[in-house]
Amino acid sequence: MTIFLELKEKLKEIYAEYGTYILPVLKFFLALAVFQSINHTLDYVPALGNIFIVLILSLICAIIPLNGMVFFAMVLILLQCTGVHILAAAFGAVLFLALWVLYLRFAPGEALALVLTPLACALHIPAAVPIAFGLVGGPVSALSVSCGLVVYYFMRLIVERIAVLAAGEEIDMLNFVRTLAEGVFQNETLLVALICCAVTLLVVYLIRTLDADYAWQISVIAGGIAYLVIQLAGALFLELDVSVPTLLAGTVGSCLICFVLQLFVFGGDYSRSKMFRFQDDEYYYYVKAIPKMAVSNPKRTIKTISEEEPREDGDSDGNETADEHETYDTEEVLKEYTVGREEPDVQGSGNMDLRTGEIPEIPEELLARYGAPAGSGQDGETGNKAKDAGEAEQGQRPEQASGETDPEEQRKDEYFQSVDFEEKLTDTLKRL
C-alpha cells in the first residue's frame, strides 16, 4: 500500500511538471488502441487498416479534444461498414446521430467513457468502465457508457450477422434492413449489458459518495458483484449465451484494475502545469503556472543526544583511545553539572553543549540517589554543591516548587528522560 502511495505522489509530481506533454502522448496511445481495435473487429476496407493512416489519425487525435477522437472513431466504423454494404453504413450513421442528439449532448465532457467502453468490451473487461467511471465520474457517465455499449454491439452485429447476409449472392433488402434494426432494438444481450452497466455505475457512485471508511474499496467490490449478479440473472432468465469463466475472470480483472485505479485517484489532484500569455500596456507576460505540491514524506532525522557529539572537532588529532575519551567525557559531564547549577540554561534548548556550558539542572532524585548522602571526597563535594545550588534555585523560583509545569521545565524533563544519567554516574563512581 505504501508503495502505491509513494508512486502516486511521484506520478502527481511528474504529471504536474510534464502534464502538457504527457496528455497528448496518452491521447495518442488511446487513439491508436481505439482505431486498431475498430480495424481488428471490422476489417472490411483494407486501406483503412493501413498502419500509416491509423498513425496519422492518432497523431491528429493527440492534439485535438477527446470529442474529436469520438468523431474519428465513428467515421472509421461507418467507413468500415461501407465495405459490408452501404445500407449498413447508412443505418449506422442514423443510429450514431440519434445517439448524439438524444443522449450525448447532455454529457459533452464524457467522451472518454464512450471511447473506452468498446475497447474494454473487446478486451473482455467490460465491467472496468462502469466501475471506473462510478469512481471518477458521476451518474451522467452512464449515458456515455450506454452509448459506447450500443456502438460495440453494433460492430458485433455487423461482424456476426450483417457481413454474413451481405456475403450472399442475392440480398433481400427488406430482410437486411430488418436484421440491422433487430440487432439494435431486439438484442437481449445488449439490453442486459445496458442495464448491467448503468446499475453497476450507479451502485459504485452511490457507495463511493458515502461518508464511510473504505467507501472507495467497498464500492469497487460492490460494483463487481452487482455486475456479476445482473449478468448471471440475465443469462438465467433470458437464456443468454454467457461464458461464465470469461465473465468471472473479466469481472475479477476489472475489479483489480479499478482497485489499483482508486489507489491513484482517491485524494489525488493531478493538476498539470500550464502556460499563460497575456499583456498590459508595458509588458508581455509569459507565465508558467505550476501546481503547488504537498511535500510527500519528509525524511526523518534521528538526533542522538550524547556527550561525544560536541567533541567531534576538538579531537581531530585522533590520538586518544576510546577508553580515555569516555573517561574524560564523563568527568567533564560531572564538572559541567556543577557549573550548570550555578549558571542554569536560560534558553532551555534541551540539547547539552559541553563547550558553551549550557547544562540543564540535575533532578533532585538523582542527586539524592547518587551524590547527596556522601560526606567526603570529590563525590560528596559535587553532590553537596549541586544540592545547595538546587536549594538556591528553589528559593529563586518558587512557582516551580508549587507544582506548575513550565514549558522550559517540560523540555528539560524530556531531555533527562532521553539521556541515561544513572548509568553514566554509576560508571563514574565506580572509576573513582
Residues found near other proteins in the complex (CB under 8 A): 91, 94-95, 97-98, 101-102, 105-106, 174, 177-178, 180-182, 184-186, 274, 276-278, 280, 283, 285, 287, 289
Nearer to other proteins, 29 or 286 (CB): 286
Residues in the chain: 432
Nearer to other proteins, 82 or 271 (CB): 271
Q: Least Å distance between CB 136 and other proteins? A: 19
Nearer to other proteins, 189 or 217 (CB): 189
Half-sphere exposure of residue 280: CA atoms within 13 angstroms, side-chain side? 1
Q: Least Å distance between CB 59 and other proteins? A: 24
For residue 273, give the H/E element and its range: none
The CA distance from 310 to 356, in Å, is 10
DSSP letters, 36-80, are HHHHHH--S-GGGG-HHHHHHHHHHHHHS-HHHHHHHHHHHHHHH
Q: Least Å distance between CB 105 and other proteins? A: 7
Q: Least Å distance between CB 153 and other proteins? A: 14
The three grid cell numbers given for residue 415, joined into one nine-digit string: 531531555
Q: Least Å distance between CB 91 and other proteins? A: 7
Nearer to other proteins, 184 or 252 (CB): 184
Are 222 and 203 within 8 A, CB to CB?
A: yes
Smallest CA-to-CA distance from 59 within 94, 99, 28, 97 is with 28
Nearer to other proteins, 65 or 377 (CB): 65
The CA distance from 40 to 53, in Å, is 14
Q: Least Å distance between CB 271 and other proteins? A: 11
The CA-based dihedral angle spanning residues 158, 159, 165, 169, taken in that order and rounded to the nearest 10 degrees: 120
- What is the sign, positive or negative, of the torsion defined by CA atoms of 316, 317, 320, 322? positive
Q: Least Å distance between CB 176 and other proteins? A: 10
Question: Which residues, at least 6 apart from 188, have a Cβ–Cβ distance to it below 8 Å?
Answer: 234, 238, 240
Nearer to other proteins, 260 or 290 (CB): 290
The CA distance from 31 to 422, in Å, is 72
Nearer to other proteins, 102 or 249 (CB): 102
Q: Least Å distance between CB 12 and other proteins? A: 20
Nearer to other proteins, 94 or 244 (CB): 94
Question: Which residues, at least 6 apart from 211, have a Cβ–Cβ distance to it below 8 Å?
Answer: none
The three grid cell numbers given for residue 218, joined into one nine-digit string: 467497498
Which residues are paired to 287 by β-bridges? 276
Q: Least Å distance between CB 85 and other proteins? A: 14
Q: Least Å distance between CB 286 and other proteins? A: 11
Nearer to other proteins, 214 or 283 (CB): 283
Question: Which residues, at least 6 apart from 140, have a Cβ–Cβ distance to it below 8 Å?
Answer: 106, 107, 110
Question: Which residues, at least 6 apart from 132, have a Cβ–Cβ distance to it below 8 Å?
Answer: 116, 257, 258, 261
Nearer to other proteins, 52 or 278 (CB): 278
